[in-house]
Amino acid sequence: MTEYAIRPFQPDDARYFPEFADLGIRPEHVPNPAFTGMADGQVVICAGVVPGMVLKAASRLLPPRPASEPYRRGMGEAWACLVRPCQHGRWVLKTVRGFVGALLEGDFDRLEAMIRVDRVDWQKWIRFHGFEIDYRFGRNGYIQCPDGVERLMFARIAGGGR
């Protein structure tokens, strides 16, 4: 039987994922919350959230917070790297779903993720976790990024809305 474990992300974990460099985060500067999932001692997933306002304009779209409730939540950009092929898909999905749910019940009102238009597999994966396309960027939701790649902005808001 496979033994699964979750531990805090460690900079050395990035070496398992050549695409980690595309995230634009240096492994030694990965902010919390971030975790590494392991199966039988082997790294199978690293994921986390970069806290902060990814898009300044988005703050105007969030409902105002009642004066009686102190501001303690925010926005963050979700990221994940998985080994290919993933032999532990069910466990990975369950683990990420729990991580996202806990974040939205805790310190985050909104999580965002930018997914390449040509990565339909990642679009399916992020939708499975309750994220939806954010159409504030036009009818199709596409964003032309500085690197020349079109991406879709996905978002998930605490309480279920988009």
Write down the pLDDT at residue 130.
Answer: 92
Q: Which of 47, 32, 104 is nearest to 75 (CA)?
A: 104
Q: What are the residues whose beta carbons fall under 8 Å from the beta carbon of 21, sequence distance 6 or more? A: none
Q: Is 115 helix (H, G, I), strand (E, B) or coil?
A: strand
Instruction: Kindly tell me if the per-residue pLDDT of 143 is higher than 80.
Output: no
Contacts 24+ apart (CB under 8 A), 130-137: 130/97, 130/100, 130/156, 130/160, 131/78, 131/155, 131/156, 132/156, 132/162, 134/162, 136/57, 136/58, 136/61
Q: Tell me the percentage of the chain whose pLDDT exceeds 70.
A: 83
Task: Quote the tokens at residue 145.
Answer: 């990024």
Half-sphere exposure of residue 80: CA atoms within 13 angstroms, side-chain side: 23
pLDDT tens, position by position, 76-91: 889 999 887 778 889 9
Q: What is residue 97's DSSP assignment?
A: H
Pairing type for strands 4-8 and 34-39 reads antiparallel
Model confidence pLDDT, tens digit, residues 44-82: 999 999 887 443 333 433 344 444 443 345 888 899 998
In angstroms, the Cα distances linking 15 to 7, 28, 43 are 16, 12, 10
Task: Show Cβ contacts of residue 117 under 8 Å, excluding neighbours closer than 6 positions.
Answer: 142, 149, 150, 151, 152
- State the pLDDT at residue 75: 85
Per-residue pLDDT of 87-109, as tens digits, reads 888 999 899 999 998 888 888 88
Domain boundaries, the chain: 4-57+73-157
Assigned fold of 4-57+73-157: Aminopeptidase (3.40.630)
Residue 36 has pLDDT above 80, yes or no: yes
Q: What is the pTM of this model?
A: 0.78
10 has pLDDT over 50 = yes
| 127-137 average pLDDT score | 85
* Whole-angstrom distance, CA of residue 61 vs CA of residue 71: 16
Task: Check residue 41 and give its pLDDT.
Answer: 94
